[in-house]
């Protein structure tokens, strides 16, 4: 299916409906152009009302009805929301966190290492997957839901952690030395004496425990994947809906925010090994706040995990508060996902719920189940997607720029923050958003990724935690002709977050052609006319050229931005945080060093490009504004939505929140 159709659909829970309307819902879905629904991942207590007693009547009924309507089905394992009978059997199914034992009622409140939980989870997985794998319209399985470690701690986790540390370090002396446990008398003489990490003051030790917690979540997903593989057909995929660190604004409810940055509670790079198809949930603001940036970031992070298409399993339809889309925005958001390389877009969810915490997280249909403008726009989108099937699936991208990130730095910045108001993901987005608005497309790759050969420019935003093997790779990349751009606090500590006891940036002072050993918070300091913010390193050039200095009576003799030629390449280093516009200027200079063409269009005009399965070049053009705009075509191309043709240099008009999809030099076939 993935080679033939753009997946388009929604999550659907017949179990939540106030009355039987299955046939009417599926009819409305087919009228909307849907071809796929996602079911079952939230309803363990219905599927197993009592221990070992399975009832898949809702699952069967929906799958059979979906087949009659020509709809594919993704079946989810329901392990992220435990039934109450399971907690009654064993109260320790509920996770113990640093705040104490969880209470029953919410989702994702369980201990994913608890034997009772795993025993019954295996039972529901095996019975559900074996029961549904034979259905011809079941195309894949989603394992769990937005999986993380959920803060699982407690005495049993401590014992597992102690064993894990022994396997990794070998001797307790190595632990004391590597993590600096002599500080404040934290050193111990036996692995069995390693203390509860939830009370530690040692960031290295705490982040080592966080690494272990992530490993437990990664193993949990692989465990589920291995079970599913025993039953699934070769043509059925295994996916997981990865989520992101949620950007919040201080409100008491979690919904106040959106998909933001690198997830700190599971490593996507490692857990992707359990998937045959990467899946993700991406939520963003719309109305006047719609930029497409969060959609693009999510895609640019997911796609490189496999260098392949990924599936958006959850995206918003109407959602809540100010998320009711303006006319044209639902359509624009869907094409934004496809432009990043998604093989499909699904909504959470089909209909608004009538009770529970998510009552006002509205679906494609409102509470009355009637047609509405958002649903009608989805119908238009569905008709277009059917016409575009020959051109859009499996869009490949060959980006020449990559932002290098790691999960260790996300957690490190919680312990050693640059500023209390600045997170690691804030810095990553500071860089990513600037590239996005410049129309310099990039991949977001994890530092573990073994191959950088496809890139000409690597950017390291505050890459604080540095695996020792990374340094020679960076040197080699530059020596062989690549360009790098690093920001403050990069290459500062080892993988255990111990600050390197040599000149900064560690192991790369000759590569960058500068060093520093003092830093401070900038006060009344500017760089190129813009305020220096949060952190400033007093850079001392050696072979490097000073590209910008601090404007300050005492700090003015130090460089803020340097550029150095090293081997056949170039290395840039920015020692402070400045405005987005100044950063854009610096990034364009680095891109020029890398031989990357500077784009003509800039925000709010966004261009996203790729190559489809037939080798045809596709360019998505977006107007993320409420005003009509015009741009000049750079190609002889056909616009796939309207079938209009454009020659090089011809003007293209985009209405407010508009989209155009250009295919270079190809005649449309009837």
DSSP 332-359: HHHHHHHHTTEEEEEES-SB--SSSTTT
Contact 374, 325 (CB under 8 A): yes
Q: How many CA atoms lie within 13 A of 392 on its CB side?
A: 30
Q: What is the pLDDT of residues 243-262, one digit of tens each?
A: 999 986 544 444 467 898 99
- CA distances to 54, 81, 227, 383 from 128, in Å: 9, 15, 11, 33
Please tell me the predicted confidence (pLDDT) of residue 670.
39
* Six-digit token string for 101: 């034992």
Query: Is residue 436 located within the same domain as residue 514?
Result: yes
Task: Indicate whether 212 belongs to any domain.
Answer: no
Please tell me the predicted confidence (pLDDT) of residue 2.
57
Contact 536, 520 (CB under 8 A): yes
Indicate the residue among 593, 614, 630 that finishes a domain: 593
Mean pLDDT across 356-363: 92
Among 159-163, 357-361, 433-437, 642-646, the least confident range: 357-361
Contact 540, 472 (CB under 8 A): no
Q: How many CA atoms lie within 13 A of 564 on its CB side?
A: 27
Closest C-alpha among 577, 572, 470, 569 to residue 519 = 577
Query: Is residue 321 located within the same domain as residue 457?
Result: no
Task: Indicate whether 305 belongs to any domain.
Answer: yes
Query: Is residue 347 located within the same domain as residue 496?
Result: no
Query: Is residue 313 located within the same domain as residue 270?
Result: yes
Q: What is the pLDDT of residues 96-143, one digit of tens each?
A: 999 999 999 999 999 999 999 999 999 999 999 999 999 999 999 999
Reply yes or no on whether the pLDDT at 378 is more than 90: yes
d(CA 523, CA 531): 9
Please tell me the predicted confidence (pLDDT) of residue 256.
61
Task: Indicate whether 585 belongs to any domain.
Answer: yes
Task: Indicate whether 158 belongs to any domain.
Answer: no
**Can you give the CATH number for the domain in which 432 is found?**
3.40.50.880
Q: Do the strands 519-520 and 533-537 form a parallel or antiparallel pair, or are they unpaired?
A: antiparallel
Three-state DSSP class for residue 281? strand
Task: Indicate whether 85 belongs to any domain.
Answer: no
- Our count of domains for the chain comes to 3
Average pLDDT, the chain: 95
d(CA 121, CA 78): 8
Q: Roughly what angle, to the nearest 10 degrees, separates helices 154-169 and 203-229?
A: 100
**Can you give the CATH number for the domain in which 644 is found?**
2.60.40.1180
d(CA 143, CA 275): 9
Closest C-alpha among 588, 654, 645, 602 to residue 627 = 654
d(CA 252, CA 58): 35
Query: Is residue 288 located within the same domain as residue 356?
Result: yes
Reply yes or no on whether the pLDDT at 375 is more than 80: yes
Task: Indicate whether 164 belongs to any domain.
Answer: no
- DSSP-derived secondary structure for 148-167: --TT--HHHHHHHHHHHHHH
Contact 254, 260 (CB under 8 A): no
Reply yes or no on whether the pLDDT at 533 is more than 60: yes
- Domain limits for position 423: 401-593
Angle at 71 between CA 69 and CA 76, to 5 degrees: 135
User: Which residues touch 587 (CB under 8 Å, ≥6 apart)?
Assistant: 431, 434, 435, 438, 440, 459, 485
Reply yes or no on whether the pLDDT at 667 is more than 80: no
Eight-state DSSP code of residue 192: G
Q: Which residue has the tokens 């401590």?
A: 158
Query: Is residue 421 located within the same domain as residue 536?
Result: yes
User: Which residues touch 269 (CB under 8 Å, ≥6 apart)?
Assistant: 305, 407, 446, 448, 449
Query: Is residue 250 located within the same domain as residue 358?
Result: yes
* Phi, psi torsion values for 237, nearest 5 degrees: -95, 165
Q: What is the pLDDT of residues 591-631, one digit of tens each?
A: 999 999 988 888 999 999 999 989 999 999 999 999 999 99
pTM: 0.96
Report the helix count and the strand count for the chain, using DSSP H and E.
Answer: 17, 34
d(CA 74, CA 343): 14
Angle at 414 between CA 576 and CA 427, to 5 degrees: 35
Query: Is residue 60 located within the same domain as residue 24?
Result: yes
Mean pLDDT across 521-532: 97
d(CA 182, CA 161): 20
Contact 476, 450 (CB under 8 A): no
Indicate the residue among 388, 415, 435 that finishes a domain: 388
Task: Indicate whether 208 belongs to any domain.
Answer: no
Query: Is residue 454 located within the same domain as residue 500?
Result: yes
Query: Is residue 493 located within the same domain as residue 638?
Result: no
**Can you give the CATH number for the domain in which 379 is found?**
3.20.20.80
Please tell me the predicted confidence (pLDDT) of residue 666.
56
Task: Indicate whether 45 belongs to any domain.
Answer: yes
Query: Is residue 39 located within the same domain as residue 135?
Result: yes
Query: Is residue 463 located within the same domain as residue 609?
Result: no
* Six-digit token string for 203: 């960031």
Indicate the residue among 544, 562, 593 that finishes a domain: 593
């Amino acid at each position: 299916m993935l080679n033939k159709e753009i997946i388009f659909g929604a999550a659907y829970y017949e179990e939540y409906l106030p009355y039987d309307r299955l046939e009417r819902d599926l009819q409305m879905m087919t009228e909307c152009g849907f071809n796929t629904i996602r079911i079952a991942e939230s309803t363990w207590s219905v599927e197993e009302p009592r221990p070992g007693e399975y009832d898949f009547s809702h699952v069967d009924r929906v799958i059979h009805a979906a087949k009659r309507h020509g709809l594919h089905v993704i079946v989810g394992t329901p392990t992220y929301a435990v039934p109450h009978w399971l907690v009654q059997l064993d109260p320790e199914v509920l996770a113990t966190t640093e705040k104490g034992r969880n209470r029953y009622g919410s989702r994702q409140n369980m201990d994913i290492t608890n034997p009772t939980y795993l025993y019954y989870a295996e039972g529901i997985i095996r019975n559900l997957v074996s029961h549904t794998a034979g259905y011809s319209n079941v195309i894949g399985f989603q394992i769990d839901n937005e999986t993380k470690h959920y803060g699982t701690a407690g005495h049993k986790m401590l014992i597992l952690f102690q064993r894990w540390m022994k396997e990794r370090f070998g001797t307790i002396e190595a632990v004391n030395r590597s993590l600096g446990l002599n500080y404040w008398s934290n050193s111990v003489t036996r692995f069995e004496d390693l203390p509860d990490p939830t009370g530690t003051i040692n960031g290295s030790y705490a982040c080592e425990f966080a690494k272990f917690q992530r490993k437990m979540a990664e193993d949990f997903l692989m465990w589920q994947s291995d079970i599913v593989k025993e039953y699934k057909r070769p043509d059925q995929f295994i996916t997981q809906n990865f989520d992101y660190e949620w950007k919040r604004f201080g409100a008491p409810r979690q919904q106040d925010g959106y998909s933001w940055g690198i997830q700190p509670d599971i490593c996507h790079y490692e857990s992707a090994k359990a998937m045959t198809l990467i899946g993700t949930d991406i939520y963003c603001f719309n109305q006047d706040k719609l930029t497409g940036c969060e959609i693009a970031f999510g895609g640019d992070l997911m796609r490189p995990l496999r260098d392949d298409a990924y599936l958006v399993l959850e995206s918003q339809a109407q959602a809540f508060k100010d998320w009711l889309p303006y006319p044209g925005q639902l359509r624009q958001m869907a094409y934004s996902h496809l432009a990043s390389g998604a093989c499909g877009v699904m909504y959470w969810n089909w209909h608004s719920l009538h009770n529970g915490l998510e009552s006002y997280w509205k679906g494609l249909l409102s509470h009355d189940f009637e047609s509405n403008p958002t649903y009608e726009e989805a119908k238009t989108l569905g008709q277009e997607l059917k016409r575009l099937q020959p051109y859009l699936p499996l869009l490949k991208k060959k980006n020449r720029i990559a932002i290098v990130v790691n999960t260790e730095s996300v957690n490190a910045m919680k312990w050693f923050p640059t500023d209390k108001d600045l997170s690691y993901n804030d810095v990553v987005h500071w860089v990513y958003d600037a590239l996005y608005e410049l129309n310099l497309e990039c991949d977001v790759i994890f530092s573990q990724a073994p191959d950088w050969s496809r890139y000409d420019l690597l950017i390291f935003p505050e890459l604080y935690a540095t695996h020792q093997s990374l340094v020679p790779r960076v040197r080699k990349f530059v020596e062989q002709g690549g360009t790098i751009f690093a920001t403050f606090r990069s290459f500062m500590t080892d993988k255990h977050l111990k600050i390197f006891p040599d000149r900064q940036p560690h192991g790369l002072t000759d590569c960058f052609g500068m060093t520093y050993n003092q830093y401070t918070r900038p006060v009344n300091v500017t760089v190129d006319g813009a305020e220096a913010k949060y952190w400033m390193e007093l850079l001392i050039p050696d072979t490097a050229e000073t590209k910008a200095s601090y404007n300050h009576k005492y700090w003015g003799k130090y460089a803020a931005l340097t550029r150095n030629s090293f081997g056949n390449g170039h290395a840039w280093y920015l020692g402070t945080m400045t405005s987005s516009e100044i950063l854009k200027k610096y990034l364009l200079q680095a891109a020029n060093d890398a031989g990357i063409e500077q784009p003509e269009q800039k925000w709010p005009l966004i261009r996203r490009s790729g190559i489809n399965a037939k080798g045809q070049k596709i360019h998505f053009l977006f107007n993320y504004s409420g005003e009509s705009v015009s741009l000049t075509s750079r190609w002889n191309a056909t616009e796939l939505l309207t079938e209009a043709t454009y020659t090089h240099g011809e003007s293209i008009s985009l209405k407010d929140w508009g989209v155009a999809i250009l295919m270079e030099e190809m005649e449309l076939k009837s």
